[in-house]
Amino acid sequence: MRINKISSQPHFQAVNQKYFEWAKKDFARGNNVSTEWLHRLRYDVFLFREISRQDAIDTINAVKKYMNKTDEGIEHVLANLHNPNP
């Protein structure tokens, strides 16, 4: 019987570096991402289709690791990304 070690680190498929770096700059100014960050991420996924849903989900999950408390805006966008029928 083989026992595999379970990693406590989440496995992300593809974190969008542009949005991840933007979020880090927002965190340097405050403890949250800007509203503009959320809007632009949504636009790039749903309107312009420049980012895949999964990449956006992975990016948000990576950013959430840095947040003390997530707000309803991020949770709402994340729920929309998980919904296959927007």
Domain span at 75: 17-82
Instruction: Quote the tokens at residue 3.
Output: 């026992």
Does residue 12 sit within a domain? no
Does residue 2 sit within a domain? no
Q: pLDDT tens across 25-79, in order? A: 998 898 889 999 999 999 999 999 999 999 999 999 999 988 888 889 999 999 9
Report how many domains make up the chain. Answer: 1
Rounded to 5 degrees, what are φ and ψ at 80? -65, -35
Cα–Cα distance between 41 and 39 in angstroms, integer? 5
Q: pLDDT tens across 7-36, in order? A: 445 555 678 999 999 999 998 898 889 999
Does residue 3 sit within a domain? no
From residue 78, give the alpha-carbon distance in Å to each of 1, 4, 29, 56, 72: 38, 30, 23, 8, 10
Predicted model pTM:
0.79
Only one residue has tokens 């991020």, namely 74
Does residue 11 sit within a domain? no
